[in-house]
Amino acid sequence: MVMLRLVTGRILLTVVTLLIVSFIVFGVLEILPGDVASRILGRDATPEALAVLRAKLSLDQPAIWRYLHWLGGVLTGDLGKSLVSGRRVIDILGPRIYNTVLLSIYAFILYIPLTVIPALIQAVKRDRLVDHGFSALTLVLLSMPDFLLATILMIVFVITIPILPAMSIVDQSSGWHEYLEATTLPAVTLAIVMAVYAVRMLRDNLIEVLDSDYVRMAELKGLPPARVLIRHALPNALVPTLNVTAINLGYLVGGVVVVEKVFGYPGFGSLLVDSLQLRDLPVIEATVMLASTVYIAANLLADIGAILLNPRLKGR
């Protein structure tokens, strides 16, 4: 019952948070300087033409009415139409989300070993040369901007060792091998960026767990060190790292803007940049809201996972 109440509370808090985010997103775009109709028709537009377009876009209605209308559309899957192309926003988002999801899955698959393996080595070899070496490397990568890491990887694997393409150009007709080749460099970049935030925390958690009484009891029972490390220490050390992983999951969808731009990858992040440059409000609202939803949902899953894995709550 305790676990059920905690999970239900987290879900209700998530719903309230999403409503607040939707209001903030709509409100911020409302107070941006400039008139949408004037930007679309240009400076030479007549007052009559501006009035007709404002009525067509419902800009002559009160802001609260437009917010409720937009929110109702979001809840029913109607995200409106692009002000630039006239296409439905959901049709524009579809291929971009598909590309980013593929890139995110690839990056997350690489993220797991890049996080777990160094943390395990550091925890086992704590305060030794290899531990200090990984710590120094992690500190360097933490201080390195995404675009610089992406540029270094391009220099190494495109110029010095030319085995990967510089530009990640794909479309819906591309095969899986073309996607794999095109997304390798951006996926490695994203995986490294995410891993450096989690390695240090997992390493410290592992050391704390390895020093606990129940792990020492398992060692005294004669269990193999590898089994103690993987079966007993690692699962318990992963619990505090779930929040970092949740943040990384949100970053994969909403924070890939720089990486996608560097490699020319036609994903969700580059669409957000393009729509901001064009002031395409319906697309901006949809992309920001979707990124916020994924980020908040990832944190919800991390909280639920932490509750379910908490041994003190089991059986209550």
pLDDT tens string 268-308: 888 888 888 777 888 888 888 888 888 788 778 777 777 77
Tokens encoding 297: 């949902």
- The overall average pLDDT reported for the chain is 81
Distance CA 228, CA 215 (A): 7
What integer pLDDT is reported at residue 217 of this predicted model?
A: 75
Tokens encoding 265: 């990858």
pLDDT value at 315 more than 60: no
What integer pLDDT is reported at residue 42 of this predicted model?
A: 67
What is the arithmetic mean of pLDDT over 111-138?
A: 89
By C-alpha distance, which of 226, 280, 218 is closest to 86?
280
Confidence of residue 164 (pLDDT cuts 50, 70, 90): confident
Confidence of residue 129 (pLDDT cuts 50, 70, 90): very high
By C-alpha distance, which of 309, 312, 133 is closest to 237?
309
Ranges 28-37, 228-237, 244-253, most confident: 228-237
**Which sign does the torsion angle of CA 46, 285, 107, 121 carry?**
positive
Residue at token pair 């592992």: 206
Ranges 32-41, 82-91, 225-234, most confident: 82-91
What is the arithmetic mean of pLDDT over 177-201?
A: 87
pLDDT value at 313 more than 80: no
Other beta carbons within 10 angstroms of residue 132's beta carbon come to: 13
pTM above 0.85, yes or no: no
What integer pLDDT is reported at residue 110 of this predicted model?
A: 93
Distance CA 11, CA 101 (A): 24
What is the arithmetic mean of pLDDT over 243-250?
A: 72
Q: Are 98 and 185 in contact (CB under 8 A)?
A: no
pLDDT value at 196 more than 90: no
pLDDT value at 54 more than 70: yes
Q: Determine what percent of the chain is predicted with pLDDT higher than 90.
A: 7
